[in-house]
Chain A
Amino acid sequence: MKLRLLSLYPDQMNIYADRGNILFLQHRCEWRGIDFEVTRCGPGDRFDPGDHDLLYMGGGQDRDQKAVAGDLIESKQASMRAAKEGGAAILAVCGGYQLLGESYELEGETIEGLGLVDLKTVREPGPRLIGPVAIEVDLDGEPKVLAGFENHGGRTRLGNCSPLGKVIHGHGNNGEDGFEGVREDNLIGTYLHGPLLPKNAWLADHLIATGLEHHHGERPELEPLDDGLEDAAHRAALTAARKG
């Protein structure tokens, strides 16, 4: 079996150590004997949606985010849409999450997004939403918890689409409606930024299984790994979120 990961803008959108997610996926595949392939996709690069099973886009500083937004529409919009419709797993984090939506308004400027999901982000007056966060997520009929850290100025509001989860501790999409992230088909967007997968091994394995299903047509039963440290790191992140 083989998982083919597409890393979108790895040099621009990596502000919170996003590479931790890719490293985590890579080792968990390799320990199970699953081949793991990473393709880097930067400004100007195009990709064939049939060639990739899992797409990852991380967070960037405002300046980096503005710089990639135009390129995303110009050289990748059609492929992103086809990948989503074709059932590829997509994980977009923080700034990457914001770019999935219709638009991001900041400082009197509107950055056009990919329009893959019906959501809008606005940098409203008020403090950045910063802190440890925990949300309850139900991807396959069994509620689970994601724990991590959020740090965003933009407030995201969902239109006709579903949130990823409910906020247990922290701010979530906008600090008001109690929801966090977005989920549609196999696309996930979230403000839990940077290396969220190492703290939430179950989500990493969910993405691996979804990606393998995309490539091989059948959802595999993943071999369990010794996750003692992974579980302890999850508990510590959850404790941090509980303390606020």
Chain B
Amino acid sequence: MIRTKAFLARSVGRLSRATGRGGGTTLPGRVLLKLDSDAISKLGSRLTGGVTLISATNGKTTTASMLATILAGAGREPVHNRAGSNMTWGVATALLEQKGSEGLFEVDEAWLPEVADRLRPRTILLGNLFRDQLDRYGETEALADAWAELASRLAGETGFVLNADDPLVADIGKTSGPGTVFFGIDDESQALPELQHAHDAKLCRVCGHELTYDRAFVGHLGHYHCEHCGMRRPNPDITATAITLNGMNGLTATVNSPEGEARLELPLPGLYNLYNALGAIATARELGVSVAEAVASLAGMKAVFGRVERIEIDDVSLSILLIKNPAGANEVIRTLALEPAPIDLWIALNDRIADGRDVSWIWDADFEMLADRVGSVTCTGTRASEMALRLKYAGWPVENVIVEEDAEAALDRALSGAGGKLFALPTYTALLDLRNLLAERGDTERYWEG
């Protein structure tokens, strides 16, 4: 029966793409799940080489892409929801449309327990939890509770790879069983001068008292302990030291593991991408790929859809950096701050369901850091005016900030005002719109063909 249902669902996807209606990355899965709500378990049982799931607030798509790159370097091609569609129907679509013996899926934070219960993964990598779309996900603490419950259900059966530097994630190690692997950053020189405002892990998960931070690297990710109950950051099995950040061009670091030292040259910028890389390397090791092989593959890593993607349009080099929550936006801002001024920007703020209807979060992101470095700024999207308002109160020169709600007109204005480089900062649905717009203009391929 599952074969007939799968055939029907696949046909719908082909038809949708052939008629140019789009949505090909989720529609077949949606149809299939309507026909059979347990289709994921049935199709997933064919993945005899095991399934790896990746979840986090920030970096799911990039981390999964890194791991896919590493596995490809070892001659392995997992079934992978590479277009970033990461709820049940996106996973179902990948299962329908790709052949392979192992699975690699990024999964939405809130959907992780359901997908994991159905797929019974061999490995789960958990990267971070930040405040994000509170209207959709609810409180960060509640997600951490749900993940910890999942870990106790799967302990012994599933290997967990956890970020030691995120107290909300590392805490899951209490229930995830022996063999849990931790990764983290061990380079004090990369610490933030102070804890950022948008800070999501203030209280000890064990005793509820305030955490003490010796240093933080990204948001609340760092070295912490509880003075009250003695809870400490776990000692990571895989660490990064001797880190050098090279602006938008990437970074280098030494990766230390039980296999010894390896030098990582990552062509993606920012400490947040180093965390993604450490997670991918630690997980790859669990899947039988050595750290030396993993770092060699990562050196050839390409950016993925909307995550530091670069597109040449006439004489302007357009870089696209997704922003969707304070912690992620702050890392984008921190990376941009290393660029030579003036920095020309196209910023798109939408309030559709997939963006989170609530745009409050822009007031938590530290746009102040770029105030004296920006050139021409164009704001677009359904909430363009609130974005521009945020920038005004962040001290950006208002005379350089234009509100243009039409995305295409805004893009033309931004491209013509840019001095060689343009940085596009879209929220999620604005990223999809931008990508389709660029495809229509012939600047890129449609994303599901990429």
Contact = CB atoms under 8 A, between A and B. Distances in A.
Contacts of A199: 386
Interface string B175-197: 00000000000000000000001
A240 B382 CA distance: 9
Contacts of A132: 351, 357-358
B360 A63 contact: no
A130 B134 CA distance: 10
Contact of A64 (B202, B360, B390): B202
Given A27-B393, A130-B135, A229-B388, A67 B203 contact: yes
B384 to A, nearest CB: 8
Greatest chain B CB density within 10 A among A20, A229, A235 is at A229
B339 interface: no
Interface in B323-378: 326, 351, 357-364
A233 B389 contact: yes
Interface stretch (A9-17, A112-120, A136-144, A156-164): A9-17
Interface in B138-177: 138-141
B398 interface: yes
Contacts of B208: 63, 67
A149 B357 contact: yes
B383 interface: yes
Nearest to B356: A149
B141 A63 contact: yes
B307 interface: no
Given A19-B363, A229-B398, A233-B389, A61 B139 contact: yes
A151 B392 contact: no
Contacts of A128: 138
B362 A17 contact: yes
Interface residues of A, number: 35
Contact of B357 (A131, A198, A236): A131
A110 B256 CA distance: 50
Contact of A233 (B326, B361, B386): B386
Contact of A198 (B141, B386, B403): B386
A208 B383 CA distance: 26
A171 B163 CA distance: 39
Contacts of A236: 382-386
Interface residues of B, number: 35
Nearest to B391: A229
A233 B351 CA distance: 13
A82 interface: no
B60 interface: no
B389 to A, nearest CB: 5
Nearest to B363: A20
Contacts of B215: none
B131 interface: yes
A63 B386 CA distance: 30
A43 to B, nearest CB: 9
B203 A64 contact: yes
A195 B326 CA distance: 14
A23 interface: yes
A24 interface: yes
Contact of B202 (A11, A17, A240): A11
A229 B389 contact: yes
Contacts of A61: 139-141
Contact of A16 (B202, B360, B384): B360
A184 to B, nearest CB: 26
A63 B197 CA distance: 18
Contacts of B135: 130-131, 149, 151
B134 A15 contact: yes
A151 B135 CA distance: 6
A194 interface: yes
Given A15-B134, A229-B388, A151 B363 contact: no
A155 interface: no
A237 interface: yes
A193 interface: yes
Contact of B134 (A16, A23, A195): A16
A195 B363 CA distance: 7
Interface of A: 11-12, 14-17, 19-20, 23-24, 27, 61-64, 67, 128, 130-132, 149, 151, 193-195, 198-199, 229-230, 232-233, 235-237, 240
Counting from the closest, the 5 A-B pairs by CB-CB distance are A20-B363, A194-B360, A232-B385, A17-B363, A17-B364
29 contacts: A14-B197, A15-B134, A16-B360, A16-B361, A17-B198, A17-B362, A17-B363, A20-B360, A23-B393, A27-B393, A61-B139, A62-B139, A62-B141, A67-B203, A67-B208, A131-B357, A149-B359, A151-B134, A193-B360, A195-B360, A232-B403, A233-B389, A236-B382, A236-B383, A236-B385, A236-B386, A240-B351, A240-B382, A240-B383
